[in-house]
Structure 1
Amino acid sequence: MGIQDVIEGKRRWRAHMARVKALPPDYQIVYKEMQRYLFKAGPIDLFDGSSLSGIIDFFEEGVATGKGVLELVGNDVAAFCDDLIKDSRMGRPPRAARPESRRPRSAPPAPDRSETGRDGARW
């Protein structure tokens, strides 16, 4: 990746964010939540087809028809995002679809302090 690729990527990103800022405030809020969720989902191509640019196209159509953003995506924005990336090559829902064995374990139980001192030493 050369410097020209970096410059082109920044130019595309700034144009992309200018489109976001042109949306009504409620659309911007939902878009930013979707963006945060998708960034946590892992490596997916964010400028391809049903990705962030496609979401903005979808939102712009919704604004043009006068629909509210929740009418388009529903009340569960995370589920909407999961549906977007389920067919992606590398995308996966963050945490929700991970096997139970890969989730963090809960903390071990606290020691019984009735027979030990503050530092854990026996009386």
Structure 2
Amino acid sequence: MGIQDIIEGKKQWRAHMARVKALPPDYQIVYKEIQRYLFKVGPTDLLGDSLLPGLVDFFEEGVAAGKGVLQLTGNDVAAFCDDLIKDSPTYAQIYQESIDSK
């Protein structure tokens, strides 16, 4: 990974977070909780696989439709997160597989 890759990654992240900050406050709160949850669980590709950008797209569509954020996610936001990443490998799974293969 070169310096250009790092710079480009930071630009993408800043643009992504600008989109998040443009959401209504309740959407921002839920987004940040989802982000915190996903960072703990550790899916291996949050930005490149369009997981987080796709979530912002989903939230922007909900705002345009006049829906509340919990109408989109349901009351159990952790279960919503688990559904988002159910088919994505996590760092914990990769680590466990590496231990099991020894």
TM-score computed with the length of structure 2 as normaliser: 0.85
Tell me which structure has the larger Cα radius of gyration: 1
Separation of aligned partners in 2, 1:42 and 1:57: 21
Separation of aligned partners in 2, 1:11 and 1:72: 28
Q: Percent identity over the alignment?
A: 79
Asked whether the equivalents of residues 74 and 80 of structure 1 are also in contact (C-alpha less than 8 Å), the reply is: yes
Gapped runs of 5+ residues in structure 2?
Answer: 93-102
Q: Following TM superposition, where does structure 1 have runs of at least 4 consecutive aligned residues deviating by more than 2 angstroms?
A: 89-92
Name the residue aligned to 1:55. Answer: 55
When you count helix as a share of all residues, which structure comes out higher? 2
Asked whether the equivalents of residues 34 and 77 of structure 2 are also in contact (C-alpha less than 8 Å), the reply is: yes
C-alpha displacement of 1:91: 6.2
Gapped runs of 5+ residues in structure 1?
Answer: 93-123
Q: Deviations over 1:59-108 (max 9, x none)?
A: 0000000000000000000000000011002267xxxxxxxxxxxxxxxx
TM-score computed with the length of structure 1 as normaliser: 0.71
Name the residue aligned to 2:97. Answer: none
What's the C-alpha RMSD, in Å, of the aligned pairs?
1.2
Higher relative contact order (CA 8 A, sep 6+): 2
